Structure 1
Amino acid sequence: MALKHKGTLLLITGLLLGSASWYFWPRQQADAAVKPANAPALVSMISASVKPLPITLTTQGHVVALNQVDIQAQITGTVKSVDFHEGDFVKAGQPLFTLDSASQQAAYDHAVATVGESKAMLVKAQSDLQRGRALKAKNYISMSDWDTLLSNVQQYQAQYQAAQQDVATARVNLGYTHIVAPVSGKTGALNVHPGSLVQPGSTLPLVSVMQFDPIGVSFTLPEQDLKSVLAAQSKGSVTVWVENASGTPTAGKLDFIDNSVSTASGTINLKAHFSNKQSLLWPGLFQNVKVDAGVTPDAVVLPPQAVQNGPDGHFVYVIDQHNQATVKPVTLLRVQQQLAVITGISEGTQVVNEGANNLRPGMTVQIASNQHQAVAHP
């Protein structure tokens, strides 16, 4: 009985499998007929064009002060007064600090008195020499006494000159008690206050003064851009653009190119100066920098999406006579004004514009315009 039921079950299973095969086989054949194998990739083409194009180099940099002075004390003394407010803009020659000058004034007065004493002694020695000269002519004094008179004059002349130098030194030290701004600019954090003891060689300056007008922007460029900058500089000043705090483009002039290219980074340091009367450029701020480096009269340009990047560098796809994609190496100079400036192909060369990202060398393609014509005219 068990064998009979088992045979009936096998018979029913076989009938079901046969029915399923009969149902799905025609549909699979139909799907295979509708879906063609290895359909060509759809692409659009564009011709490389030549046009005069301004050379605009873009990079990043920072605003820097063209002149910064750390104010230090030249003598040891006590701060008597601070003659500005922390963070003020100051002019060159404006008083900043006054130090207690009692000891320097006393030293100066003593030096002046010493000059007077030395001068009086010199005058007496010169008078003695004059009288001795008359006596020597009559042989009334010995040669030893004459030599003494000469020696006294020379000694007091040296003392008088030394005393004058002491007066000059004391005058300088007295002047150091009045500290003025050496440049015009903005003061930074104040590190001393009235009553503070200051001395030469301190690691912390009394205050720092940064020049704000004019001000500089320091930046770097890749070494391949240096030729364009030098060529533009040989024809005149090179304009550099940044945005100030109000978002307004501000023009400056390139005034420094470093004397060597860094072999480690392949870049070169440059600096431009800008008028900054309204203080809208602040030292240390990051800046997007644009450099006007002349004009390329015959730049070969393509849309940026047409230029691909691979392990061996940049390239474009061209289509051969068999409608297959082939690789054409190019050099990408820069991208500006939504155009890729390249070398390696000539004007009029047809390259793949859209659809290049999905291509591989040797793939068969269908150009979009041709496909539209085939649909319109079967």
Structure 2
Amino acid sequence: MLLSTALSKTKSHVNQIPKDGMTKFIRSIAEEKHEAGQPFYVLDLATIERLMDKWHHSFPNVKPHYAVKCNAEPALLTKLAKLGANFDCASLQEIDTVLSLGICPNRIIFANPCKAISHIKHAAAVGVNLATFDSELEVDKIKKWHPHCRLLLRIKAPSDIGALRPLGKKFGVLPREFEPLLHYACNVAGLKVVGVSFHVGSIAQDPTIYREAIANARAAFDVADYLGIPKMQILNIGGVFRSSTPLFEEIADVVNEAVKDYFPDPNLTVIAEPGRFFPETAFTLVTHVIGKRVRGEKIEYWIDEGIYGSFRPTLYNSCFVGIKPLSRQKSKESSQIYESTIYGPSCDSLDAVAVDIKLVELQMGDLILFYNMGAYSKCAGTMFNGFDMLSVPTYLVQTNSS
């Protein structure tokens, strides 16, 4: 039911528009199809194409497995599949979302190191045969319910200091645990460990962390050789890639050099789990002004999306989001700037989207556009206060240079 609902909220027709025609298109959609109280997204599929080209240019030997948790928009997943991406799923539901689009199960890695038994059994039933692990108990569960699954040892990155969301506290095997856990998985349980996986933490700022992590992965490969485990073939370098900063190229340079230094074997398969890299800049959220209050030189606005919808995770990522006010009628646009605050629609006083920012004066029904809203936004929608943030529709466009 949830999956069919999600699919129905994507407007499957792809609108061809010039690159500079996005504002006109948004105005037309707002006028023709949406009243105040009905936010919507616009996904530019051409941006996904450009980002895939950028990925291949910087990472020519790294296969992307898109992290579905970041944004499970069906049109996005379909486009990425057509461009050659594979998929990182963390649950039964994400696996079924990908499979429902006609994507083969051998293009999925079940990359949650701790999986419910029902999810493991489902992966076995549908043919998802590559997964991560980082504990003996996980080995026991997989041995019992999916014994033919190939495994990647999830190791802890040596340092995730500076990451927006460090992951090392929750996931990953320490170096001193490599030998006993590999021995248990391969020589005791008889499972097939085919490689190593790591994740340096969300939005890490120091590219050298990758070199340290790849060195640790090399150590895990060496332990496997020492234990007589059949030669491992996969190195998974995780996620944490953003397309809109020069840091991406710096990370790519560090990774490519480190792989050459530590893994000279040409038969090694290197994969990654990018999430925000692809959807972040491709999605624009369009909201309506549904309320307004003027207090002296300051203006407060209410819009039809908030922190219990698309803005919940972006409270922590606010520096990535661009804001653009847009009068529904171009002829009535104001030019005077006011200190402004934007609130979401709920009755929670914490539901503030942007505080003390500079905006032109807007009127009821005018639009506020939020750019770079494709990552960890729509997927966090709730039904708090009865506002249906789960069913915000997405319109598809294909921009061109003409």
Short-chain TM bin: under 0.3
Q: TM-score, normalised by structure 1?
A: 0.18
Structure with a larger share of its residues in strand: 1
| Greater gyration radius | 1
Q: TM-score, normalised by structure 2?
A: 0.18
